[in-house]
Amino acid sequence: MKLTSKIFNSHPSTDGDFFLGIKSILGFKPKNIEIYKTAFLHRSMNKKDKKGNPVNYERLEFLGDSMLGTIISKYLYNEVPEGDEGYLTKMRSKVVSRKHLNELGKDLGLLKYVESRIPKEHFGENIYGNVFEALVGAIYLDRGYNYCEKFIDERVIEPYVDIEQLEGKVISYKSLVIEWCQKEKKPFHYNVYEDTGNDELKHFAVKLTIGDRMLAKARATSKKKAEEKASKRAYFALQSRIDNN
C-alpha cells in the first residue's frame, strides 16, 4: 500500500459515519454538519469558499478559544466566590492550558476526524488542543451558547476540573526554577542546541546549569518543551529546597 493511501487525509468513509461520530462526542445532534467538517479541516487541504477565502479550522479555533475562556471564567466566578481577579485568572489558565487541551483532544479521539494532506505522525501535540477548540467554536455557531456551555460542562468541567487539585497544579516548572534561582541569587543558564540524531523530526536538547553544576538535561521537538522538561527534572532534584522557601 502506498504512503499516500495511508496518510491522514479523510473523514470516516461516509458523511453518516462522521455525523454519528460527532454526535457521540457532543452528546447531542449537530444541526449543520458542514460547520463540524470545517472544524476538522487542516489548512494543508487548501480549501477556499466561493469568495476565495481560506477554509480550515483556524478561525473556529479562535472562536472556540474565546468561548472556552468565557465559560470556564463563568464557572470559576460562581464556584469560587472568595477568589479575587488574580486567583481566578490563574485558575482559568490551568484549566485551558495547552497541555490540558491536548489531553482533552486525545481523550475524545478527535485526530481521526481531521482532514489533511499531512501524515498523522508529522503532527505535533498541539493539533489535539487546536481541533478541540475548533470543535467548541463549531458548537457555538451551530447550536448557540447554551449547548456550548453544556458540552464544556460535561466534557471538561465535570470530568477534569477539581478546584483543590488545580490550586496545587504546576503550570510551568521553568518559572518555578527561575523564581527560586533569582530568590537565592544563584546563576542559571539554559544551554539549548539542535540534537536531531536519527530522528526524522528536528529535536532540541537543553542542559540546565545552576551555579556551577549541570543539574538536568532533556530533549524534545521544540526549545520550549526541552527547557520545560529539563526544568521539571531540576525542580524534583531541588524540590525540598524550593518548597521550603
Check pLDDT > 80 for residue 9: no
Grid coordinates given for 213: 553544576
150: domain CATH number is 1.10.1520.10
The whole-number pLDDT of residue 8 equals 37
The whole-number pLDDT of residue 11 equals 41
65 tagged catalytic: yes
Catalytic residue selected from 15, 49, 58, 65: 65
- Give the domain extent around 229: 173-243
Interval 130-173: pLDDT, tens: 999 999 999 999 999 999 999 999 988 988 888 877 777 777 88
DSSP state of 145: H
Whether 168 is covered by a domain: the verdict is no
Query: Is 149 known as a binding-site position?
Result: no
Whether 137 is covered by a domain: the verdict is yes
Structural domain total, the chain: 2
133 tagged catalytic: yes
190: domain CATH number is 3.30.160.20
Domain boundary among 141, 163, 185: 163
Residue 77 CA from chain centroid, whole number: 23
Interval 191-223: pLDDT, tens: 988 876 666 677 889 999 999 999 999 988 888
- Cα distance between residue 119 and residue 102, in whole Å: 18
- Cα distance between residue 232 and residue 173, in whole Å: 5
Residues 159, 181 within the same domain: no
- For cell 472556540, the residue is 64
213-220 sheet: strands from edge to edge: 188-194, 204-210, 213-220
Catalytic residue selected from 115, 133, 142, 227: 133
Whether 125 is covered by a domain: the verdict is yes
> Cβ–Cβ contacts within 10 Å for residue 116, how many?
21
Residues 156, 186 within the same domain: no
Residue 81 CA from chain centroid, whole number: 28
Interval 83-113: pLDDT, tens: 889 889 988 998 998 888 998 899 999 999 9
Whether 109 is covered by a domain: the verdict is yes
Residues 177, 149 within the same domain: no
Residues 42, 126 within the same domain: yes
Model confidence, pTM:
0.66
Check pLDDT > 90 for residue 190: yes
- Please report, rounded to a whole number, the percentage of residues in the chain having pLDDT higher than 70: 91
- Cα distance between residue 157 and residue 139, in whole Å: 17
Residues 100, 209 within the same domain: no
- Cα distance between residue 162 and residue 49, in whole Å: 42
Query: Is 167 known as a binding-site position?
Result: no
Domain boundary among 111, 142, 163: 163
244 pLDDT band, cuts 50/70/90, is low
